[in-house]
Structure 1
């Protein structure tokens, strides 16, 4: 037996706004409730068809919902700062292939559980580039989680000591993309290396990993105190991955040079 929902009735004057207000609350479409009158006036003025008016309303609702979803995904990603690819200055990175970056910006690699590795010396913008790609992923509807390599190890170590490592890895697998920043800056002992390997292994062909590192793969054995573990980790990372090496001036070094050059200019005042 089905029951019909009773809605307010009335003439198009006073009754229709009350009916639409009620229906948009029931359907949880507040944007339609807020903009239907404005768009109706525009539709009458521009002689829209019923279908065009409906499409415009639905587009406004979907755009608003997607925008709020993106804001929430950016918030839960825990980026240290929010920078976009559009903010990133590519002029100092002539070695970075623009076609590869454009492909990564589409975030289609995430649906395939593929990985991204960004190599380069300190200061070339690896972290900002990773954040920019992470923001693109959130805009495409993917859940993202960002942290430094040392913080990932701390998180996994705490879970391991509490006897809930598997539960923590399962929780992390819910994120479609995880970003591991600054691999190689701090060396890890063998226990930490094993935890890191479990993180990478748990993502293998299940979810995407993005890694930034100042060290080439050949030196990861130094960071993880174990060449065998490092090799096994690298094997899983690069099986289906885009590996980019960034070469160029350090942001900080360049900014320092520009400041020094500015300060050395003669003052004609």
Structure 2
């Protein structure tokens, strides 16, 4: 039984296509006093997943949004959920390719199937009408299934990126009103992850 569960876990982990295998336990919440540590740890209970709700993580570049998104996805995989991680631009490119080769229906079904779909770097740039329509269809089809979205922009700043305000209002109202919104602020988390040079010597204290 244990071996079978381990194999199934590894298979789900592989299908998730995470950029990195990271966990909440590995995240340095002391990197910034502005990080909402209690809110993020509460998300680790996965009540949002069992309720079919979504999570939006937004804030400046480098504060650890993608780490937290993948860590929550990893937790979901450990509890038996099927997860898919992808950059939003890659998802839009996949759907655009589906229009070209008439496999759009198949491709969107594959994106609707996972219990959790993680859209990284959402709302990075202006959307075309076709991209906005594809996002609308994806979010609509996934109603009742969880999304995790990371963005450098606040949700209130997403509306102007859609060429059709009616599509924007319908999509974003549905998405934003069924999600937990977490503002991640503070200095960049990335210097903490920078590889250390073994030849570097610790700085000597200055003499006053």
Q: What band does the TM-score fall into relative to the shorter chain? A: 0.7 to 0.9
Say yes or no: does 1:248 pair with 2:186: yes
1:150-191 C-alpha deviation (Å, 9 max, x unpaired):
001011111122223233222222210000000122332121
Which whole-Å CA distance do the structure 1 matches of 2:17 and 2:193 have between them?
27
Which whole-Å CA distance do the structure 1 matches of 2:34 and 2:166 have between them?
31
- Structure with higher RCO (Cα < 8 A, 6+ apart): 2
Pick closer, same or farther for the CA change 1:166–1:241 going to 2, 3 Å.
same
Say yes or no: does 1:89 pair with 2:28: yes
Matched length: 202
Say yes or no: does 1:156 pair with 2:91: no
Q: Which residue of 2 aligns with 1:169?
A: 108
1:165-220 C-alpha deviation (Å, 9 max, x unpaired):
23322222221000000012233212111111111111112x11110000112221
Say yes or no: does 1:189 pair with 2:136: no
Q: Which residue of 1 aligns with 2:150?
A: 212
Secondary structure of the 1:91 match is helix
Which whole-Å CA distance do the structure 1 matches of 2:59 and 2:185 have between them?
6
Greater fraction of residues in helix: 1
Secondary structure of the 2:121 match is strand
Pick closer, same or farther for the CA change 1:219–1:83 going to 2, 3 Å.
same
Say yes or no: does 1:201 pair with 2:140: yes
Tell me the TM-score normalised to structure 1 length.
0.68
Say yes or no: does 1:114 pair with 2:53: yes
Q: Which residue of 1 aligns with 2:12?
A: 73
Structure whose alpha-carbon radius of gyration is higher? 1
In the TM superposition, residue 266 of structure 1 has moved relative to its aligned partner by: 5.2
Runs of at least 5 residues in structure 2 that lack an aligned partner in the other structure: none
